[in-house]
Structure formats: C-alpha cells, structure tokens
C-alpha cells in the first residue's frame, strides 16, 4: 500500500525556462533527508500541463535515479486525451517508478462511464500501479464514489488522491473499497481530518516547504497520536491556506525560492511569478510558521 507523506514536487527551472536538473536532484535529497515517504514527479504541481513529453519523461527519470530507492516515486501520467495519457504511461512504465498518478481528464467533462473507460484503458496498458486523482476544482469533472468503487476492482488501480476537501466524500469511498486501497488526501487544509477519518496519507503541496513536519504528522497518525499530530498541523494551517493565495504552483514555487531551496522562481507560461501583494502574504505565512526569519 502507498501511504504517508508524498510531496507533490515542484519542477525547478532556470531563468531561460529550461528545467534545472541540478536543483531537482538537490530537492530529492532534501526530501529523503526530511523523511518524506514519496515524491510525485511531474504531477500538476510539477507543471505537467506545460512540460512536453520529452521533458516530462526526463524529469521523472532524474527523480528516480536520484532517489535510488530511498523513497517511493510516483509519476504524473494524466491528460485529457486518453491516447496521450496512454503514450505517457508506456514511455514511463520501465523507468523504475512505483506508481502513476492519473488526474481526471480536464475541460472535456466526461460522464462517469467515460471516466471509467478512460482510467481502465490507461491501467490496461501498463503493469505499473495507478492512483486515481480527483480534483474537480481544477478539472471541472468529479469522479464520484460509485465510479471509484468500480475502478478499485481493477488489479492495477490501487488508490486515489481525493482533493475535494470533503471528509464525507472520503468516508463514502472508504465504505465502498477494499481495506488495501490507498486513500490519499489531495487537500492540505483538511488532510489531518482526512487521516483521522481513515485515510492513509497525503499528496501534499505544503510538503515542499515543510517535508519533515508532514512526514511526522503521517507517522503520528499511523500510531494513533492525533493530538501530537494536530499540534504540528495547527502551525502549518497558515501555509495550507496561503500557499494557495494564487493558483498552484505559483505560491509554493515562490516560497521555495524565498527559502533558498531553488535559485529562481520561474514558471512556464501562462503561469507567472506571484504578484507583489501575494508575495507579502506568502512571506508572512513562512515567517509565522517558522520557515524563514525576519
């Protein structure tokens, strides 16, 4: 089972917009040292929408090689074209990853039957396990519990990243799937409540900034130590909120730059660095939570 704190890793870039592979390797080491349980490479936080296929595959290969088996590596393989997602999946299936993270098709707004057919077609093309990713706030389509239950019967579909922020939703899914189906929060602000409701882990944006803390929260919750986990999470709530002051991954990338973890805050168009007012909000959140000094 895939569980614990899994960082939705940013993709660092040079001033000319090319991928900064040296900084990427350093980020992998940073997460290994912090106790992060896994990395999602080139998920939506990793700017998958604007990385062409060759770069997408190279970033995943770089993360796998740098991780050296020290933590799990999950590769984003989602697309709103089933054939494109299948192409990505086939290209990365031999890379040594532990699983794929497959977001619901965005913009198309398929039916539940269409979603099921999409995910099954992708799962059928690879031996690597697949994690579903439901984030209706970004994709305009909601993968409902009954569809998840149907897909969970597929031998290669092993979990879901559920980012609705609804605890009722995770309770509904949990009642319909097997105990070994990984339930992973995709909403940092409600992730502790998600774990308390029976979730197994979190795929986290905040973990870019606070990897040791998110790993500790997941470890404590696995041991049933809710109050200790809550004390840590309470300090992170300002980050959970303000790292979304603009569209992800704009704020978290600037936060990592401000912390000195990447040399530049560069994003691929049409995304730009955060506005000055947003930078102040992120700065204050980093100071309040203790991740930068005055």
Binding site per annotation, positions for pyruvate: 45, 203
Residues listed for the chain: 294
Tokens of 106: 């965005």
266-270's contacts with Cβ under 8 Å and 24+ in sequence apart are 266/13, 266/14, 266/15, 266/17, 267/13, 267/47, 268/13, 268/17, 268/47, 268/50, 268/51, 269/50
User: Does the annotation mark 161 as catalytic?
Assistant: yes
Given 21, 107, 109, 161, the catalytic residue? 161
Given 133, 156, 253, 257, the catalytic residue? 133
Binding-site positions: 45, 203
Q: Tell me the catalytic residues.
A: 133, 161
């Amino acid at each position: 089972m895939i569980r614990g704190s899994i960082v939705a890793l940013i993709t660092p870039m040079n001033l000319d917009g090319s991928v900064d592979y040296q900084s990427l390797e350093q980020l992998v080491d940073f997460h290994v040292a912090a106790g992060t349980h896994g990395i999602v490479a080139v998920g939506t936080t990793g700017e998958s929408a604007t990385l062409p296929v060759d770069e997408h595959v190279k970033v995943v290969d770089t993360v796998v090689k740098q991780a050296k088996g020290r933590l799990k590596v999950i590769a984003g393989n989602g697309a709103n074209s089933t054939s494109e997602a299948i192409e990505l999946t086939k290209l990365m299936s031999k890379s040594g990853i532990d699983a794929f993270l497959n977001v619901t098709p965005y913009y198309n707004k398929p039916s539940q039957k269409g979603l099921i057919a999409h995910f099954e077609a992708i799962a059928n093309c690879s031996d690597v396990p697949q994690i579903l990713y439901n984030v209706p706030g970004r994709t305009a389509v909601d993968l409902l519990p009954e569809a998840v239950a149907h897909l969970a019967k597929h031998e290669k579909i092993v979990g879901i990243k559920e980012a609705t922020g609804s605890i009722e939703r995770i309770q509904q899914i949990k009642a319909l799937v097997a105990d070994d189906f990984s339930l992973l929060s995709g909403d940092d602000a409600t992730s502790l409540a998600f774990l308390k409701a029976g979730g197994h882990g979190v795929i986290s944006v905040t973990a870019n900034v606070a990897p040791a803390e998110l790993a500790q929260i997941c470890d404590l919750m696995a041991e049933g130590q809710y109050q200790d986990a809550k004390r840590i999470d309470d300090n992170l709530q300002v980050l959970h909120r303000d790292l979304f002051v603009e569209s992800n991954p704009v704020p978290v990338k600037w936060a990592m730059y401000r912390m000195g973890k990447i040399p530049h805050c560069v994003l691929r168009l049409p995304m730009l660095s955060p506005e000055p007012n947003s930078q102040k909000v992120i700065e204050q959140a980093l100071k309040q939570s203790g991740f930068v000094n005055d």
